[in-house]
Amino acid sequence: MAGSAPRAVETDFMRKVIAAAVKTDDGLVHFFPPPCRHHHTLHALHKDNGPLIVARGEQGFVMSDGTFAGREEAAKAALEAGQIDALKWPPNLYSEDLW
């Protein structure tokens, strides 16, 4: 389309998914850098805190703006930013979709 900016330019300022993360009931967000997956963080939390964390932690993602997003919110952002073309298990984003 004439006058449109290339997609790469658009995504430079868009909110992007940075890392798989787990948010615990105390509001803390725990994560390791990519290509780590949710299970890496859950395993570390379980080792340090016991099985309750695994049962009650919310899985999601750390975003480029420093916020935590659940799987559906992160899925929308990843699609809009062009990080992925499609979800493997809609409507949720999984680290396997990204890396």
Domain boundaries, the chain: 7-85
* Radius of gyration from C-alpha coordinates of the chain: 15
Cβ proximity of 58 and 70 under 8 Å: yes
Largest CA distance in the chain: 57
pLDDT tops 50 at residue 5: no
For residue 61, the model assigns a pLDDT of 98
Cβ proximity of 74 and 91 under 8 Å: no
Look at residues 48, 60, 75 and name the one whose alpha carbon lies nearest to residue 21. Answer: 60
Residue 31 CA from chain centroid, whole number: 10
Confidence label for 8 from pLDDT (cuts 50, 70 and 90): very low
pTM: 0.82
**pLDDT digits over 46-74, tens only?**
887 776 655 667 999 999 999 999 999 99
